[in-house]
């Protein structure tokens, strides 16, 4: 089974990486707690967005492809359940 390409998420990941570096800089500069927390919240939202897009692709491609084989489908459902429980 081939895996879908997620390269279009790289710009978002790079932006998140920059946000994380910004948070580290804010901490080093002893910025106001609420300002740091707001940035952390923004990063979490960005990560959730990327996660949602990758999950959607997984459901549309990987899980859909497994519908032809009930064993594969059950395995895909279990994978998703484990991810969602974390």
pLDDT given at position 70: 74
pLDDT tens-digit readout, 36-79: 999 999 999 999 999 999 999 998 888 887 887 777 888 888 98
Indicate the SS3 state at residue 1: coil
| End-to-end Cα distance, the chain | 25
pLDDT band of 86, cuts 50, 70, 90: confident
pLDDT tens-digit readout, 5-36: 999 999 999 999 999 999 999 999 999 999 99
pLDDT given at position 71: 76
What are all long-range contacts of 42-51, with beta carbons under 8 Å and residues at least 24 apart? 43/16, 43/19, 46/12, 46/15, 46/16, 46/19, 47/16, 49/12, 50/9, 50/12, 50/13, 50/16
pLDDT given at position 22: 98
Helices 33-57, 10-28: axis angle to 10 degrees equals 160
pLDDT given at position 1: 61
């Amino acid at each position: 089974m081939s895996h879908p390409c997620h390269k279009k998420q790289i710009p978002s990941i790079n932006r998140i990486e920059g946000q994380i570096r910004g948070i580290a800089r804010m901490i080093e500069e002893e910025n106001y707690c609420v300002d740091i927390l707001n940035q952390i919240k923004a990063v979490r939202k960005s990560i959730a967005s990327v996660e949602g897009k990758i999950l959607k692709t997984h459901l549309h491609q990987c899980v859909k492809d497994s519908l032809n084989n009930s064993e594969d489908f059950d395995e895909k459902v279990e994978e998703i359940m484990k991810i969602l429980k974390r």
